[in-house]
Structure formats: C-alpha cells, structure tokens
Amino acid sequence: MKATIYVEPHAKGRPKVTTFSGHAQIYTPKKTRIAEADIKASIRSEIAKAERFGAGEPLVLWVTFYVVRPKAAPRRVKHPVTRPDLDNYLKTLLDALDKFAFPDDAQIVNIHAKKAFAETGTSPRIEFVLERQDG
C-alpha cells in the first residue's frame, strides 16, 4: 500500500481529562481529532482499491512527513529538528490507519520514519508505504 496524503503533518496531542458529574472523562484534543479525520478522508480516496492487511500479519511502515520550512529558518538548516517530535507524527498517522488499513497497529513490527522540509513550491504532506514484513 503506497500513498501520498496532502495534509499538514500534525502531532498527536496528549489526552485531556475533564470531570463531568464527579467522574473523570478522558478525550482526544480537537486539533488531533480533526487531523486524524483529514488523514482518514485522504487515505480512503487514495487507497480505496488498495489491499487491506489481515489480522496477525507483520507489517513494515516507511514514512516521510514533509513540513513547511519556517521563514526564519536559514537555508543551512537542512532538517526540521524542532518540535513536534517525529514519534508524535507517527502516532497520529497510525491511529488514522488503525482499523482501516490493518486491524491493529500492534502489527507494525518495523518503522522507517523521517521528517523533512517540503521543497519550495510543494505542499506539506505525508508519504508512506505499508507492506508485509518479509520472512
């Protein structure tokens, strides 16, 4: 399964806790819910005819998160080494793919991930390849 998702990469927000009638309730922040929904919508159209993976299949994910270069960043800066963290981008993507591309994100046994600046004139995006683990 191969896809390019033209959405701004968004880091997974920390769960929030509130109380309602004396009971604690945990919820996902609105920005994270919107980002996951955007990724899901893009994925559905991009990979509508792609093969889904079954339960128990070990999977490998290759992914690059292309983010907008800040205007203040000098050209000598080649990689986005500031927040958000790469692992938080991954959490958003995996949660969006979970139950759609595969039954459980625990099936991911190998991840090759990076974040990079989108080239001038190109859109921020997420490019990924998801495939079965050989052997």
- Give every CB contact of residue 18 below 8 A, 6+ residues apart in sequence: 24, 25, 27
Torsion over CA: 78, 12, 49, 7 (sign): negative
- The pTM of this model reads 0.82
Q: What is the CATH number of the domain that holds 85?
A: 3.30.1330.70
- Give every CB contact of residue 15 below 8 A, 6+ residues apart in sequence: 26, 27, 28, 29
Residue 59: name the closest of 87, 11, 101 by CA: 101
Identify the pLDDT of residue 135.
63
DSSP state string for 66-105: EEPPPTTS-TT--S--SSSPHHHHHHHHHHHHBTTTBS-G
Total domain count, the chain: 1
User: Over the stretch 21-69, which tens digit does the pLDDT of each residue have?
Assistant: 888 888 778 888 888 888 888 877 766 667 778 898 999 999 999 999 9
**Euclidean distance between CA atoms 83 and 67, whole angstroms:** 11
Identify the pLDDT of residue 48.
67
With H, G, I as helix, E, B as strand and everything else as coil, classify residue 123.
coil
Report whether pLDDT(15) > 90. Answer: no
Structural domain containing residue 105: 2-132
User: Over the stretch 84-134, which tens digit does the pLDDT of each residue have?
Assistant: 999 999 998 998 888 888 899 899 999 999 999 999 899 999 999 999 998
Identify the pLDDT of residue 10.
82
